[in-house]
Structure 1
């Protein structure tokens, strides 16, 4: 987690002018700002995180809790530097401790080129263009490029009918080249500073660009994406997609990192600086997965990539079972190519070291009742060591809070272990369970994969509260996981590699961060 070390010397830095944009900072309800004598602490729960900061930070955050306008608060500190404060708040935002929202006046908004690749989708493209006609964005700073991938129907003619209603250019390619190449062609011809990608089966919300474009006021931001939600909820699969679609990442803003809580963005809803896109060579000629690959390359070059769910695009999801399963398998198969292109970004499972030690002790003890209690010793030792460390630092955290954090961390780790088994190993473990069904080992494997599939589905139903009955949600969740594993296995067979199946295990050790 980021420290606040640079804020320790703000008294020696003169005030500097703030940028044209307006920043509003909302502190997370789970963030406590505590000062104990000469020490100041930021304390967050779920997971439990401690950050020791300079006392001045406490005053800053307390004022922001009352008045979220960063500009006004900074002006109340004559010796406080705007850039230092914003950089610190950005780091807190990356950790989910604050929410930083930017806005820009119309005269400061950058020019935007919306790029839409399309092939043989006249009706869906018309619906997309109708939605773009309602965009709340200055028309003189907007252009729309429809890149037709050699359609064989009246898609181009249908697009041409919108020329008088939109700042539209229609580019027709002589032969099919694929969606990635169409986007690259549109990016090369675009005039806008920002490229806004969406698909022909999508309908952007009127405030789509208003919500996302202001994030580019920070020069380090190279890409921003928003939520992709179902265009309707008529079918049970639509209602499942509303909470479990791989095209969206939930209601909380986040920084995008290859192995983070939000690991990628999708081209259904993706804004990129044109310069940054061209510098990395545009989209790779792979499908699906070209959007994930682009985002990871931007991250590898040090660019900030952000997920902001307020920028909404509606998408026509597959609402029939077979197309749904086929698409899920295709998404999973792309992981093989992605791991080959980004070997350091393959799936990682983080497990608390104490929990792993407890599991090992429990397995070693077997059925010997007197030794089973030994499995609890690593967890107790972990809590006691952390508590001693916190006492030495005089951090305002109780033993009860530490115990709750330990239990919560174990439950989260068990969930992600089950998620990894169900999405990466469900079919191999099921087959092994059938082969060895006459032995205890085979029965144990069957129970393991069953618990993983049903357990994670049940947790997701409770946690995400879909507008769907539990039976159909569990059915869709099981189909989703099995289709994902099928696609991954097929992709591995086609490429002759098992590397995507070699999940990296990372041990987690509790630590206290301080400046």
Structure 2
């Protein structure tokens, strides 16, 4: 029996700095190349991102989509949740069009370890994310990751403590998430919300009966600083 067909990708805007490391990490995944497809949604890029992705597409089956939204020049923290939702939904449509069994949505500054995809598939959950540190660029204690849980008052918070190597149910997860086709076919889509478009997606998924999870033992590298991903990184 063949392994599931997985579409891997993300929106891309002015990411030439991190794309070589990102694409190398995707190619290093421990998964049969014949069961992988890739898709990237280029938007408003003015750097070498498109050229880097076109070179990648020459050696791997890749859909390069374009959706320029006229948003100002990218910098960290400068984005629109509505725009991100639109771009991520284009990726969902490509996953459905491609016949993929799963969409592995991995942000372009997130490097999954080689075993990530196989382990997330083994979790057998409709939505399951890897763990992505979000605060390593900040001083002090590091505990914020790419998932949120509702507190006793219903407020979404980064949990300060969690099991380091376990499946954990959460309310919101993003950045590196494996999503089963059934979730997409149910009509779940990204939408702007208080904490971002991932919240909008996860709210729809939970309403449709799909619980989001995180495998805290699958830890990705997050290229958050200017020097990350370059020759010295």
Q: TM-score range by the shorter chain?
A: 0.7 to 0.9
Equivalent in the alignment of 2:76: none
- 1:193 pairs with 2:90: no
What pairs with 1:144-163 in structure 2 (closer than 5 Å)?
144-163=38-57
What pairs with 1:41-190 in structure 2 (closer than 5 Å)?
107-176=1-70, 178-190=83-95
Alignment partners' CA distance in 1, 2:21 and 2:139: 19
Equivalent in the alignment of 2:141: 240
What pairs with 1:95-494 in structure 2 (closer than 5 Å)?
107-176=1-70, 178-190=83-95, 191=98, 192-216=100-124, 221-229=125-133, 237=138, 240-241=141-142, 244-247=143-146, 250=162, 251-256=164-169, 262-266=170-174, 268-286=175-193, 288-317=195-224
Structure richer in helix, relative to its length: 1
* Per-residue CA distance 1:98-119 (angstroms, 9 max, x = gap): xxxxxxxxx4421111121111
Q: What is the TM-score when the length of structure 2 is the normalising length?
A: 0.74
Structure richer in strand, relative to its length: 2
Alignment partners' CA distance in 1, 2:65 and 2:11: 10
Q: 1:302 to 1:125 in 2, by over 3 A?
A: same
Q: How far off its partner does 1:274 sit?
A: 2.6
Q: What is the TM-score when the length of structure 1 is the normalising length?
A: 0.36
Q: 1:113 to 1:255 in 2, by over 3 A?
A: same
Contact 1:227 1:313 in 2 (8 A): yes
Q: 1:238 to 1:109 in 2, by over 3 A?
A: farther
Q: 1:215 to 1:109 in 2, by over 3 A?
A: farther
* Per-residue CA distance 1:309-363 (angstroms, 9 max, x = gap): 23332112369xxxxxxxxxxxxxxxxxxxxxxxxxxxxxxxxxxxxxxxxxxxx
Alignment partners' CA distance in 2, 1:287 and 1:206: 33
* Per-residue CA distance 1:70-113 (angstroms, 9 max, x = gap): xxxxxxxxxxxxxxxxxxxxxxxxxxxxxxxxxxxxx4421111
Q: How far off its partner does 1:121 sit?
A: 1.2
- Structure 2 stretches of 5 or more lacking a match? 71-81, 148-158, 227-233
Q: How far off its partner does 1:238 sit?
A: 6.7
Contact 2:188 2:201 in 1 (8 A): no
Q: How far off its partner does 1:288 sit?
A: 4.6
Q: 1:205 to 1:171 in 2, by over 3 A?
A: same
- The aligned length equals 198
| Aligned partner of residue 229 in structure 1, secondary structure | coil
Alignment partners' CA distance in 2, 1:279 and 1:299: 11
Alignment partners' CA distance in 2, 1:108 and 1:238: 46
Contact 2:192 2:200 in 1 (8 A): no
* Per-residue CA distance 1:228-250 (angstroms, 9 max, x = gap): 1379x6x6x27733xx1142564
Q: 1:153 to 1:136 in 2, by over 3 A?
A: same
Larger radius of gyration: 1
**Structure showing greater relative contact order (alpha-carbon pairs closer than 8 Å, 6 or more residues apart):** 2
Alignment partners' CA distance in 2, 1:281 and 1:209: 22
- Structure 1 stretches of 5 or more lacking a match? 1-106, 257-261, 320-515
CA RMSD of aligned residues (A): 2.6
| Aligned partner of residue 308 in structure 1, secondary structure | strand
